[in-house]
Structure 1
Amino acid sequence: MKTQVAIIGAGPSGLLLGQLLHKAGIRTLIIERQTPEYVLGRIRAGILESGTVELLREAGVAGRMEQEGLVHHGVEFIFDGQRIPVPLSELTGGKSVMVYGQTEVTRDLMQARDECGAPIIYGVSQVQINDAKSDRPSVEFEKEGERCRIECDFIAGCDGFHGISRKSIPREVLREYESVWPFGWLGLLADTPPVNPELIYAHHERGFVLCSQRSLTRSRYYLQVPLSDRIEAWSDDRFWDELKRRLPSDLAGRLVTGHSLEKSIAPLRSYVVEPMQYGRLFLVGDAAHIVPPTGAKGLNLAASDVNYLWRILSAYYRQGRSDLLASYSHLALNRVWKGERFSWFMTHLLHDFQEKSAFDRKMQEADRRYYLGSEAGLTTIAENYVGLPFENVG
């Protein structure tokens, strides 16, 4: 098999990259270890930055998002029972975020890929990347017991944190940066109307709360819990009772409860690897970086990587701009680290840390008073939340 760009991973980043390259007239082949049903079964993020929304429009897959997605012009914070609105659009010159689940983004991209006839091979195993430093790299894999080979010009590693792409780069080349947070998020998805029109980020002495949503009839809630907790100990009733304890009485009183569609506990991690490129192998999304979900940056940083990579590859094929190839890692990492910083900031601002010293707790309180008590502080939160602008390529 031959193609111009081999893409490893059929999650949203691999599919979005494939769609944008296809529209630019560049041939791609995507391989994926899992089945389509498994990929669509992942319950992930639901907040799209303004730049991610524009990228989906540019890819031609925004039709259903425009109809069903919910545009949000603000968010709310709660500290000591006080509700503090953050008017995103007012503070950022009209920018907003879109509530539209990652599962739905993936579904739209899968449909677009199917309609254009571009190939995806599901259920592959034993993936191997060859000669990434040469101008003739290749990808080998097994499918139903047969060994297959893709000859290509470039390889995009969109296969997540546990995938083969990052592991194919020599360890002496990579620098890893990591911080593991001392708590987890217990998440529950339910077909119940959201408790509030805008998303709510709440601090409480019992732990952080996020009241999010996927639609006007589907809600997503999160509770900060110890890493030692097990999902079996959290019945639906216990979850709803604890959520009500951590919300002001007016919100708790109008909370609609129901049977959980999905419930899980996720540990929180901050992780970045440098560089994000090794020869003609490019790392995209979770293959190169992980953020805690507090700042809603995971999917959006993956889309940011895609934005830079497809523009660089398009310039290479359309204009012969081979000089831009080496700029990918720098461009991507500049925005990645800003996203990591915002997620780190939001996590420190909102969560309770049992091991914090008295001084650190006072600093946390001072941060809350400043950032949520001044227009400058609120503007900093708002411009990061809606998404920092992409840099120009070339």
Structure 2
Amino acid sequence: MHLTFYTIWPCALFNINRMQSISSSSYAVHFNQRAYDALNGHLSEKSYSKIFIVVDENTHEHCLAPFMGRIQGTYDFEIIELESGEENKNIDTCTQVWNVLSELDGDRKSLMINLGGGVITDLGGFVASTFKRGIDFINVPTTLLSMVDASVGGKTGVDLGPLKNQIGVINQPEMVLIVTDFLKTLEERQLQSGFAEMLKHGLIQNAGYWEELKEVSHFKLMDDLIYESVQIKNKVVLEDPTEQDLRKILNYGHTLGHAIESYFLENVEKKALLHGEAIAVGMVLEGYLSKDLVGLPEAQLADIKNTFLGRYPKVDFTEDDIKAILALLKFDKKNSHGNINFVLLKSIGDPVIDIQVPDELYKKAFAYYAEN
């Protein structure tokens, strides 16, 4: 793992479009120009002793200068660069960042700004939440996935080996700043990955939103849809901030999807899947389980399958793959008392939580996914 840091100073500000902020429990999600207004106001009021900005090599190259150019005031920023990729979202990386914070005289009055995708916001939030027993942090998501999912809701953490998000805490940021111009720096595959989470929001909360998303043919002018997804996630999190009940619905497709993602990540002979690609498979599989266990209508199941297979490459699974993936289910964070708990759909927009699945249904679900 390679980690570097830099000292940098900001330059000029310019205007972009405005969107209304979304209030959460103890912070707000600000969009575009309002994001920079909120940040500048916050920095001028708080008088932080140190300001650290965590980036990876991609956001350092494509996002850092535009971001710094919109900050008003005179501050000395320490830039900490991490290597991108889920494989670097681990305790070893955290240890390196904690050491850098200490070497650069970080204290409890420091601020960490996490400028990047879900790996950066998850890991950066966890590092900030645990350094000196907690310093302030701000999330600035730069990918579609992190804008609509990872940066909102206070979940922070890292992976334990290939196992997703096994170590972490729920701790809220000072604010979340969503600047949709950053989406212009992303490849189509990354945008598609984030779009899977938006489709999930429709499946678990709003059938009309699902229908609207199905019509999206390109990723331009996405502000209104991103805003709707953030509202959906924020509404769920406000009702259940610590995932005791309702918030579990956000994990639809993730029980099998995370196991698939972990399996493909740890097997070097497999091409790693992006989060949204694995979750897309998981949503089809768990749609099949929904049909058998809670009565999801056949037509809606077919709609779910056709929608995801129309957008995401089909993944081939051998019998050995399936066996290994199912073995990973025991590590899912929703499990309790030895039970593997699923979020399933009674219908599109109507989820149900804590459903146990008979073993014989898993292979049937994979067979359904594999059918043409």
TM-score of the superposition, structure 2-length normalised?
0.27
If each structure's helix is expressed as a fraction of its own residues, which one has the higher value?
2
* Structure with bigger RCO (C-alpha 8 Å, 6+ apart): 1
If each structure's strand is expressed as a fraction of its own residues, which one has the higher value?
1
Larger radius of gyration: 1
TM-score of the superposition, structure 1-length normalised?
0.26
